[in-house]
């Protein structure tokens, strides 16, 4: 398993985008299948967001102050995704707004992933040494074990509530 922080996060992105494609390819009436795909999307996003919000973003903000604006924008984009995930988590897939809400989630997360991979990660790789990225990655691999997997778990929910009320 790689311990380069950027490689780890990119692998997550790949898995998430695979699920997005599966959702988009599922038929209009594939309600059960789409419900299951969205469950998996929420789980992967909850873990990934936890690793970025609790480890990657604060560390980069600390080590590379020039990237502060990018980090703050990322927090806001994750906040939007958190709200949508929390709502989808409580919804039945046959509800009228389920597909629409998922589509908005997919659009906004796809945009965010593109920004990270095309603009932010290259700057981070330039600013941090190979060793620092490996240390960060090793910490994230460890944090993954205890990461929340659903918006209903206290550590994940707290984030969403903080984001809404904060």
Q: Is the dihedral of CA 40, 79, 108, 146 positive or negative?
A: negative
In the complex, what is the shortest distance from the CB of residue 48 to Fe ion, in angstroms, rounded to a whole number? 6
Instruction: With contacts defined by CB under 5 A, name the span among 45-53, 87-95, 96-104, 124-132 that binds Fe ion.
Output: 45-53
List the alpha helices (DSSP H) in the chain: 5-25, 31-51, 57-63, 68-89, 98-115, 121-127, 130-145, 154-165
In the complex, what is the shortest distance from the CB of residue 25 to Fe ion, in angstroms, rounded to a whole number? 23
Asked whether 137 and 130 are in contact (CB, 8 A), the reply is no
Name the residue among 128, 134, 143 with its Cα closest to residue 7. 134
In the complex, what is the shortest distance from the CB of residue 109 to Fe ion, in angstroms, rounded to a whole number? 8
Residue 70 binding Fe ion, by CB under 5 A: no
Dist CA 32 CA 98 (whole Å): 12
Dist CA 66 CA 73 (whole Å): 13
Instruction: With contacts defined by CB under 5 A, name the span among 58-66, 79-87, 103-111, 113-121 that binds Fe ion.
Output: 113-121
Quick one: which of 5, 20, 45, 52 contacts Fe ion (CB under 5 A)? 52
CA atoms within a 13 Å half-sphere pointing along the CA-CB vector of 19: 23
Nearer Cβ to Fe ion (89/121): 121
Residue 82 binding Fe ion, by CB under 5 A: no
In the complex, what is the shortest distance from the CB of residue 32 to Fe ion, in angstroms, rounded to a whole number? 28
In the complex, what is the shortest distance from the CB of residue 78 to Fe ion, in angstroms, rounded to a whole number? 6
> Nearest-CB residue to Fe ion?
52
Nearer Cβ to Fe ion (59/116): 116
Residues within the interface to Fe ion (CB under 5 A): 52, 116
């Amino acid at each position: 398993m790689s311990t380069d922080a950027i490689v780890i996060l990119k692998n997550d992105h790949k898995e998430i985008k695979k699920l997005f494609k599966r959702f988009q390819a599922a038929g209009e009436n594939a309600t059960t299948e789409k419900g299951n795909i969205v469950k998996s999307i929420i789980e992967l996003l909850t873990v990934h967001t936890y690793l970025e919000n609790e480890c990657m973003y604060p560390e980069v903000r600390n080590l590379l102050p020039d990237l502060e604006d990018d980090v703050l924008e990322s927090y806001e984009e994750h906040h939007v995704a958190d709200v949508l995930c929390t709502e989808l988590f409580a919804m039945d897939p046959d509800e009228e707004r389920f597909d629409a809400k998922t589509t908005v989630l997919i659009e906004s997360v796809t945009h965010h992933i593109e920004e990270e991979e095309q603009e932010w990660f290259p700057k981070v790789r330039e600013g941090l040494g190979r060793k620092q990225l490996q240390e960060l990655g090793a910490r994230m691999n460890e944090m993954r074990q205890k990461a929340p997997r659903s918006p209903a778990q206290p550590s994940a929910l707290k984030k969403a509530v903080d984001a809404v009320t904060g």
